[in-house]
Structure formats: structure tokens, C-alpha cells
Amino acid sequence: MAHHVIYIPGLGDHRSYGQEIAVVNYWRLFGLHAHYLALGWRHREGLDTKIKRLTDMIDGLADQGHTVSLCGTSAGASAALMAYALRPNLNGVVTIAGKVNHPETISQATRDANPDFYAAMEHVQGNLQTLSRRGDLENILCVYARHDNIIPFKDSIIAGSGKHRVAGWSHSSAIFFGIIFGAPVIARFLRSRPHLFV
């Protein structure tokens, strides 16, 4: 049985920059059936609409009897955490170079261009409290690079979660190395979750 992972990219999701090809084709080698879901961060449709598209995909896969996990990259990590707080039936969540801490450090230009991302960031700490109460933080793996020029590694780490450091000298390289070299670790982590295939 394939393990389905919904991959949510970050703010530049109007172009995949090779992420879709990598996660859909390469991750299959590790037994992960990936679905690339661009939320369209620049589209001003409202955060609730974006999250509903994500939860609808989760529900559709779960209704078919599939085991479902999420992988949120960069800004996509905030959406993944929101969805996990809403859908406790998820197997687990992986963040790659995710922005999960310190929303106050997001520049005004980024807020103006991507208001739904900033709105998601305002929910993250509350989502993490929900996940902590449920005992689900251990089902989260944070993949990060120490030398990320956009998102400091401390902003990518969630206390109580799993952590895996990859090489990287920039934000884009952190994502690339997380997708490629982090794939075996991600697959192993998701398979280790106690409620897989039940």
C-alpha cells in the first residue's frame, strides 16, 4: 500500500522550480506517493479557501482508505500545521525549511504581497498548542539547514518534534537538499508513526 503525502510549497508556488517533479517522481522510490498542491499564496482568495482545498484533498484520500501525511515547505509549513490541527487522522507532518516561529519577523513587503501567509502564521502557535495537547508533536519532523539565508534555522524548529539537519547555504538549497537527501529520512520517519496503515 502506498503512503500518500501532500506536498505544499512556499510563497513562490506560481512556479514549481522542479519541486513537483522531484517529490512526485523521486519520492516514489522510497514508497511515498506524493501529490503536489500549490495553494497560490499570492491569490487573495482568503486563507480559509486555501486550507479547505488542502483538507478536501486529505479527506478525499482518506476516504479511499489511504494513509495520508503532509509535507509543508517554507511558507507551506504553516498551512500543513493548520491542516494537522483540523485533521487528527493524518499520519504525520514534515516541514522542510519551514517558517513556524516568529511571525513578527516577516517583512511588511512579504505581508502585503502574501496576506494569507501572514494570516496562517498568526495561527501557528495556537495550532501547535492544539497538537501538543493531543500528543501529536512527536508526529512532526522538521527538516532544516543551519545556514538558511531567508528563514533562520531556529524559526524552523518545533520543540517536541523530530529534527533532521541537511546541508545548505541558502533557502533554496535547504529545500533542495531536504527534498533529495532528506527523502530517505522523511520516508523512514513517516513509516515509523504508530498508526500507519490502520
The answer, yes or no, to whether residue 193 has pLDDT greater than 90, is no
The domain spanning residue 31 has which CATH number? 3.40.50.1820
Residue 197 within any structural domain of the chain: no
Cα-based distances in Å from 49 to 10, 22, 40, 84: 17, 27, 11, 16
- Domain ranges, residue 16: 3-191
**Tell me: the pLDDT tens digits for 141-169?**
999 999 999 999 999 999 999 999 999 99
Residue 198 within any structural domain of the chain: no
Q: Which residues, including other chains, have CB under 8 Å from residue 115's CB and lie 6 or more apart?
A: 44
Q: Helix or strand or coil: residue 142?
A: strand
- Helix H, strand E, coil C: the string for 62-95 is HHCCCEEEEEEECCHHHHHHHHHHHCCCCCCEEE
Residue 196 within any structural domain of the chain: no
- Tell me what the mean pLDDT of segment 176-198 comes to: 86
Number of domains in the chain: 1
Residue-wise DSSP of 144-170: EES--SSS-GGGG--TTSEEEEE--SS
Quote the mean pLDDT of the chain: 95
**Tell me: the pLDDT tens digits for 101-115?**
999 999 999 999 999
